[in-house]
Amino acid sequence: MIDPDAELERLRAQHLYRRRRVLDGPQGVRPVIDGRPMLSFCSNDYLGLASHPDLVSALAEGAARYGAGSGSAHLVTGHGEAHRRLEEQLADFTGRPRALLFSTGYMANLGVISALAGRGHHILADRLNHASLTDGVRLSGARLHRYPHADTARLRELCQGTDAALVVSDGVFSMDGDLAPVPELARAARAAGGLLMIDDAHGLGVLGATGRGTLEHFGLGAAEVPILVGTLGKAFGTFGAFVAGSEALIELLIQRARSYIYTTALPPAVAHATLAALAVAGREPWRREQLRHLVRRFRRGAAELGLRLADSHTPIQPLIAGDASRALDWSRQLEERGILVTAIRPPTVPRGSARLRITFSASHREDDVDLLLEALARLPQRDTQTAPATAAEVEAP
C-alpha cells in the first residue's frame, strides 16, 4: 500500500507535484486565474466556442426545457430528445450510420475497447496513445502490443503475428500535436483482418476543409476507419464524447459498453448546447482559418528566434524542456509576465521530455502570438531535444 505522505514528498522532490488553479469567470484566452488576469495558451478550446453567446443561450434554453440533469442512465429514463438529436447530428457530421453519446472521452475509450476485445484477443497500440486508450486495453484483459510512436513498419510486423487484431491510435497526439499515419494504420489493420479505432479528440472541429478532423485531412472514411471516437469538450466547447460507426457497432456498445450502461447520461441541456456548437462551427469556417494562420505565424517567429519546436502544424505546439524542473521554471517565468502555459511532466509524457504545451485558440489575436514569442525569447537555456522548425515546416498548412 502506498504511504500518501511519502508519495507526495517524492512527487515534490522530483518536480512532479501538481496543483489546481481556480478559474473565475468563463473559459477564454484572457481568463482570471487565481484572481489574476492572464493571457492563456494552454486550453483545448481550439475554436473559441466555450463561451460563445450562442452556446450559452442554448445551454440556458436547454436547462429551461429539459432541466439541469438527466436523472438516470440512457437505458433507464436518461435518454432524452436532445440526446437523440445530437447523436443524429454527430452521425451526419462524421458520415456514419450512427453515433452514441458517452459522458466523457475517457469513458468512451474504456467502453469501446472493453466491449470489442477481451482475454485471448490482441490490441496493437501506439506507444504515445492517450492514457484512456491504454487503460481501456488494461480493463479489457486483451493482450497489448505497443509499437514505437508512428512506426508503421513495426506495426505491420506485429500484425503478422496476430489475427483479427484491434488497432487503436490517437488521430492527433495530445502532447505532441502530430498526426498519426492513419492511412498506413488502416492498411495494416485491413491486411491483418482487424479493425482500426481512431480517437480524434484533438482533430475533430480543427482539421480538414470542413472541420471533420484527421480522417477528412487524409481523405479517409468509415471503410478505412470503422471506429471513430470524438470529444465535445475541446474544439466544440461543451462536454461529453461520442463514438461513431456502423449500426452493428453502436448496437453492440449499447448492449456491452459498461461505461455507457452503468453511468448517468449527459445532462440534456449540454447536448442541446452542443447542437448549437456544431452549427456555429459549420457556419464560421474562419475559426479554423484563424487557427492555421496563428500557428504559421507562431512557427515562423519561433524559427527566427531559434526556438526548437516539435514537428506539429496543429494548434498544439510543444516546446520541449527535457527535465521537469526546467519546464516548471519556464512556466513560472512566463506566468510572471502574465502568460499562462502549463508545464507538462511525466507520467503524462515520457521521462526526459517535459515541455511547455502551447495551444492556440481562434480567439487569440496576432499580437497575442507576438507577445508570447517575445516572452519565450527571454527564457534561458532554450536548447531542446527536437530539431528546429524549418522554413518549409512553418509554411505548411
Q: What is the mean pLDDT of residues 227-231?
A: 98
Q: At what angle do helices 268-283 and 81-94 cross, to 10 degrees?
A: 30
Residues 111-162 pLDDT 10s: 999 999 999 999 999 999 999 999 999 999 999 999 999 999 999 999 887 7
Q: What is the pLDDT of residue 289?
A: 97
Q: What is the pLDDT of residue 381?
A: 56
- Kindly list the distances between the CA atom of residue 126 and the CA atoms of 129, 181, 198, 227, 358, in Å, as whole numbers in the listed order: 5, 11, 11, 16, 23
Query: Residue-wise over 149-174: b if at least 16 C-beta within 10 A, else e?
Result: bbbbebbbebbeebeebbbbbbbbbb
Pairwise CA distance, residues 220 & 212, whole Å: 11
Q: Which domains does the chain have, with CATH numbers?
A: 17-46+285-394 (3.90.1150.10), 53-283 (3.40.640.10)
Confidence class of residue 382 from pLDDT cuts 50, 70 and 90? very low
Sign of CA dihedral 233, 234, 238, 243: negative
Active site residues: 174, 202, 234
Q: Against a cut of 0.75, is the pTM above it?
A: yes
Which residue would you say has higher pLDDT here, 163 or 259? 259
Residues 1-59 pLDDT 10s: 999 999 989 999 988 888 898 989 899 999 999 999 999 999 999 999 999 999 999 99
Q: Are 395 and 296 in contact (CB under 8 A)?
A: yes
C-alpha cell at 169: 491510435
Q: Are 87 and 79 in contact (CB under 8 A)?
A: no
The residues with which 125 forms a beta bridge, in sequence order, are 146, 168
